Amino acid sequence: MSLKISVLGSSLLSSYWNGAATYYRGIIRALDRLGCRTTFYEPDAFDRQSHRDMDPPSWAEVVVYPATAEAVQNVCREAAGADIVIKASGVGVFDDELMRGTLIEGHPRLIRIFWDVDAPATLSAMAADLRHPLRAAVPQLDAVLTYGGGPPVIAAYKRFGARQCIPIYNALDPKTHHPVAHDPKYACDLAFLGNRLPDRENRVNRFFFQAARRLPHHSFLLGGAGWESWQLPPNVRHIGHVPTQDHNAFNVSPRAVINIARDSMADIGFSPATRVFEAAGAGACLITDAWEGIDMFLRPGTEILVARDDADVARFLSQLTSKQARDIGQAALQRVLRDHTYDKRARIVLAILEQALAKKVSSTTAEQVRA
């Protein structure tokens, strides 16, 4: 079925302070291959448009609108002309107004979806505020999709009245993330790529900086923004923002790379970050901090190394041979190519959308007959 989809999200064109960009790109590009046509509406906000890391693609239309109340009203009205309208979390400006517009605008058969790319934070905010706008919105939506969270998130959204909640996990786009030649500027023993965030910096300190202090003769590489004021160990080299087109080289050039989850994602589990699949797709040897559900995606010990603390990270690095690193990286690559591509995720999304649309058409037709 060829569906017309509108997405109200943060940004498709820029990954600048926008970790969901790779996820959006992978899903939407794969939906295009299945015959869907997506228009992505993103606000001109947070200096993202001056930090674009891709041109407008052939597989989606991108509408950049001013971050004003009037523009939001116009965007909601235009977006509602599609078969499906998806309000993503974390747009960053006018989120409540965009959700309100999603619910108000549209034709009788319009399917309305909330796609939560940060479910732990969203659910925490909803639980803490009895007047949170999503409390009233969720029961009116046809579905809630999340990019992780597994059974705990599904149960929580059901308690808030969601008709259905389905995780659509991060994945790999082999066209954008794949093995490349090593780049000497990213060579080191262990690399971490991630912006400094309030609910991640303590875990980065624990799993990355403390591991570096345990291994003063090993080299560590830190990519990402916001770390300038942090007192780094002398064997940690900070290189700032790493553009998306360099992620493959960043992943394959170190002996190993490490994934470190945000506190909320680690607490709830079942939330592999985009970086997990990017690294595996490049054939990198990946270490991750421990969280529930890892074995749903990669097999600990052979496809990924799981660390409980900085001592485990240091032990892995001390014992890891070049051959072992290559073997783990190749095993992870084969696993994600087989089980965790955006093409597979997109087929799940399309089935959900088609089912919701068929149900809405049936319900609308029945109401018309009764009338």
Tens-place pLDDT, residues 109-148: 999 999 999 998 899 999 999 999 999 999 999 999 998 8
Query: Phi and psi (nearest 5°) for 192?
Result: -130, 135
pLDDT of 16 above 90: no
Q: Where are the domains of the chain?
A: 4-171+342-370, 184-339
pLDDT of 368 above 80: no
pLDDT of 12 above 60: yes
- Report the range of poorest mean pLDDT among 18-22, 214-218, 251-255: 18-22
The residues facing 258 across adjacent strands are: 192, 287
For residue 141, what are its two tokens?
Answer: 């939506």
**Domain 4-171+342-370, CATH 3.40.50.2000 — does that match?**
yes
pLDDT tens digit string along 285-331?
A: 999 999 999 999 999 999 999 999 999 999 999 999 999 999 999 99
CA distance 63 to 371: 39
pLDDT of 371 above 80: no
pLDDT at 50: 94
pLDDT classification of 1: cutoffs 50, 70, 90 = low
Domains 4-171+342-370 and 184-339 share a fold: yes
pLDDT at 362: 82
SS (HEC) of 101-149:
HHHHCCCCCCEEEEEECCHHHHHHHHHHCCCCHHHHHHHHCCEEEECCC
- How far is residue 16 CA from its own chain's centroid? 14
Considering the chain, what is the average pLDDT of its residues?
95
Provide the Cα torsion 272, 114, 75, 50; round to 10°: -10
Query: In this structure, are strands 220-223 and 286-289 parallel, antiparallel, or unpaired?
Result: unpaired
> What whole-number percentage of the chain has pLDDT above 90?
91
Classify domain 184-339 at the CATH superfamily level.
Glycogen Phosphorylase B; (3.40.50.2000)
CA distance 286 to 323: 14
pLDDT of 339 above 60: yes
pLDDT at 347: 98
- Report the range of poorest mean pLDDT among 193-197, 212-216, 251-255: 193-197
pLDDT tens digit string along 194-207?
A: 999 999 999 999 99
Length of the chain, in residues: 371
